[in-house]
Amino acid sequence: MTESSQMAAGQEPRLFGERGVDARVASIVEPVIVDLGFDLVRVRITGERGCTVQIMAESPDGTMSIEGCEAVSKAISPALDVEDPISGEYHLEVSSPGVDRPLVRRRDFIAWAGHEAKIELSTPVDGRRRYRGMLDGVDGEDLKIVLPDVPQGTDANVRVPLSNLSEAKLVMNDKLLELALKAQPVNGAAEIEEDAADRQE
């Protein structure tokens, strides 16, 4: 799905995506997920249990229920069976992003301002590719980060272009955990598993 069609469907495009087979799977499942009214967060293929295809999805408001995971799983399974991007059997997992979630859209960096995150860039800025600090929102096309424990006389405030991000994730800490415990039990915990072999029976 192109960025223009995502925006037309009311979906905010991700700032960065997957590579290789993961990207192929994402291209198959994202239009289906969008049609259901959800957003794709991430696709990751791992060697767990032979082969596991992990799909993270959420509602535009950042929530995801078990029922939502079930709906996504049922909808994307036929698409994956038809396109068959993965050779051999695999396990399909559909889940919410979780507490220490990936940050993939502009709105994520705005919503989670004030929380600690790990940021990785596609291209180093001033020789640096990785940052860990407090998210300070978005200004124009730049992400603002406040770095901890910088040397005296060094500016703790850093700006990096959103277009240069390759990975971003919240850091689990007491503040984040406390917030998660106050949230609904299904948020960050919903997950549906399905075996490819089971779908073909």
pLDDT tens for each residue of the chain, 201 residues long = 344 334 434 479 999 999 999 999 999 999 999 999 999 999 999 998 889 999 999 999 988 999 999 999 999 999 999 999 998 899 999 999 988 999 999 999 999 999 999 999 999 988 999 999 999 999 999 999 999 988 888 889 999 999 999 999 999 999 888 888 877 554 444 666 766 545 444
For residues 15 and 165, the answer to whether their CB atoms sit within 8 Å is: yes
Burial 108-132 (b: 16+ CB within 10 A, else e): bbeebeebbbebebeeeeeeeeebe
**CA atoms of 97 and 119, how far apart (whole Å):** 17
**The pLDDT of residue 184:** 55
Measured CA to CA in angstroms, residue 76 lies from 35, 50, 164 at distances of 11, 20, 30
**The pLDDT of residue 153:** 84
SS3 19: coil
**The pLDDT of residue 26:** 97
**Residue positions counted in the chain:** 201
**CA atoms of 160 and 198, how far apart (whole Å):** 45
Q: Please choose, from the candidates 198, 124, 52, the residue with its C-alpha nearest in 3D space to the C-alpha of residue 43.
A: 52
**CA atoms of 95 and 190, how far apart (whole Å):** 5
Structural domains in the chain, CATH included, are 3-99+184-199 (3.30.300.70), 106-171 (2.30.30.180)
**CA atoms of 171 and 175, how far apart (whole Å):** 10
Q: Which residue has the tokens 């992400």?
A: 143
**The pLDDT of residue 191:** 67
**The pLDDT of residue 190:** 61
Angle at 47 between CA 120 and CA 43, to 5 degrees: 50
Q: Give 85-90's long-range contacts (Cβ < 8 A, gap of 24+).
A: 85/21, 85/24, 85/25, 85/28, 86/21, 86/25, 86/45, 86/51, 86/53, 86/196, 88/50, 88/51, 89/50, 89/51, 89/195, 89/196, 89/197, 90/45, 90/50, 90/51, 90/52, 90/53, 90/195, 90/196
